[in-house]
Amino acid sequence: MEHDDPAAAAPHIKEEFREEYLRLKELVAMGPRNPEPYLDLGDICFFSGASDEAKRWYRTAALVSNRSPEVMEHISMHMPLAVEEREEKPFVFDWDNVLKYPLRNGAWLGVVFAGLGIFATYFALMFAAIFAFSFVLVVYMLLSAHLLKVVQDTAHGGKSLPRLFGESFDFFGDVAKPALSFWGAVLFYSVFPFLLIYFAGKLGLPVSGLGFAKVFPVYFSIIFPGVMGACALGGFLVAVNPVILVKIISRTFLTYMLAVAALALINSGVSALFRTHSLKASPLLFLTVVSMGTAYVYYLTAHIIGRIFRDNAEKLGV
C-alpha cells in the first residue's frame, strides 16, 4: 500500500526504509505468528537509530518464535541485550504498571471514548428498538474488537494501548469478524454447560438448578480469560477447541488462577463502588461513573489476559 506522506507517518525511520516499515507495521497489526516481520521491523529500527523500538520488535520476534536458535542468533548480531533484558516483571509482581496501563501514554483518551460509547448505549434504549439495537451492536463490536487487539498487542510485548483503526480500515475484517468470533466463542462455552444439564436430565441423573446457578459464574470466570486470549491470538476455531483451552489453563495454572482471582476482586470492588448510595443520588453522575469504570475494567481485563500469555510465552508458544 502506498502512503501519502511516509515522512509524517514515520519520521524517526530513515527515508529509504519508511515504506517498508509502514507496510510491515500493517502486517504485524494482524498478529502474525511468523517472527520474520518482527525481525525486519527490528532491523529497520536498528539501522534507523531507533534502538528502543528495535528492542521491542526483537523481543516480540523472540516470543513469537519461542526463542528459536535462528531468531536468537539474528538478534544477537544486532542487539544482544534486546532479549536478555526483561521489559516487565510477571504481572503478579507488576501491579503498578498493570493498573496504570489503561491510563498510560494517553491511553486514558481511549478509555474515555469507550466510556462515552457505553454511556450512549444507555440512552439509545430510549429510541426505536431497531436503532437502539443497531447502535448498541456497533458500539460493542468496536469495543470487543479493540479489547481483542489489546490482548494480542500485550501478548506480543506491547506496553501501550494500541489503535483500533489503521490506515486501511476495514469494518468487517477489523471489527465485525473478530468481535463476532469472540461472541461466538463465549456463547459456545456458555451453552455447553446447559447442554450437559439437559442431557443429564434426559438420562435421569440428579441435577440441581440452584446449584448450577451458583457454580456457573465461577465456571465462566475461569474459562473467560483463556477463551478471550485464544480468540485474540488464534481465532474462533482455536478458541472453541476445549483441548486448547485446557492446555492454556494447565500450562499456566498458577498465573492463570491468580489472574482469575485478581479480575474477580477488581470487578467486585467496582461493583461495590457502583452500589454506593452517594452515586445513585445523582443518576447522571452514576451512569457516567459506571460507564467510565466499566471501560477502565474492560481494558484492564484485556491487558491482564494478554499478560498471562506474554508471561508464559515459552510454555504457550505465543
Q: How far apart are CA 23 and CA 98, in angstroms?
A: 30
pLDDT, tens digit (0-9, with 9 covering 90-100), for 127-181: 656 667 788 888 889 999 999 989 988 887 777 888 776 656 778 888 889 999 9
What proportion of the chain, given as a percentage, has pLDDT over 70?
80
pLDDT, tens digit (0-9, with 9 covering 90-100), for 45-82: 888 888 778 887 888 888 777 778 888 888 887 765 55
SS3 60: helix
What pLDDT is stored for residue 1 in this prediction? 46
Mean pLDDT of 211-217: 65
What pLDDT is stored for residue 35 in this prediction? 87
Q: How far apart are CA 251 and CA 185, in angstroms?
A: 21
Q: Which pLDDT band, with edges at 50, 70 and 90, does 191 fall under? A: confident
Mean pLDDT of 10-39: 84
Contact between 142 and 195 under an 8 Å Cβ cutoff? The reply is no
Q: How far apart are CA 149 and CA 146, in angstroms?
A: 5
Amino acid identity for residue 265 in this structure: L
What pLDDT is stored for residue 141 in this prediction? 92
Mean pLDDT of 257-270: 80
pLDDT at 85 over 60: no
Cα dist from 282 to 116, 269, 271, 291, 294, whole Å: 18, 20, 17, 14, 18
DSSP 65-103: TTS-HHHHHHHHHH-THHHHS-SS--GGG-HHHHHHTTT
Contact between 289 and 282 under an 8 Å Cβ cutoff? The reply is no
Domain 6-84: which CATH class?
A: mainly alpha
Which of the residue ranges 63-67, 87-91, 104-108, 181-185 would you say has the lowest mean pLDDT? 87-91
What spatial distance separates the first Cα and last Cα of the chain, rounded to whole Å?
28
Amino acid identity for residue 104 in this structure: R
Mean pLDDT of 108-128: 80
pLDDT at 197 over 80: no
What pLDDT is stored for residue 279 in this prediction? 53
Dihedral of the CA atoms 235, 239, 240, 246 (nearest 10)? 150
Rg (the chain; Cα; Å) = 21
What pLDDT is stored for residue 86 in this prediction? 47
Contact between 59 and 155 under an 8 Å Cβ cutoff? The reply is no
Q: How far apart are CA 263 and CA 269, in angstroms?
A: 10
Contact between 144 and 182 under an 8 Å Cβ cutoff? The reply is yes
pLDDT at 214 over 90: no
Cα dist from 21 to 58, 73, 151, 156, 289, whole Å: 14, 22, 23, 18, 40
Dihedral of the CA atoms 72, 57, 25, 298 (nearest 10)? 120
Q: For residues 239 and 197, which has the higher predicted lDDT (pLDDT)?
A: 239
Which of the residue ranges 7-11, 43-47, 236-240 would you say has the lowest mean pLDDT? 7-11
pLDDT at 237 over 80: yes
293-309: b or e for each residue (b if 16 or more CB lie within 10 Å)?
Answer: bbbbbbbbbbbbbbbbb
What pLDDT is stored for residue 206 in this prediction? 63
Q: How far apart are CA 291 and CA 270, in angstroms?
A: 11
Provide the residue ranges of all domains of the chain, joining segments of one domain with +.
Answer: 6-84, 91-316
What pLDDT is stored for residue 2 in this prediction? 47
- Mean pLDDT across the chain, nearest whole number? 79
CA–chain centroid gap for 236, Å, is 14
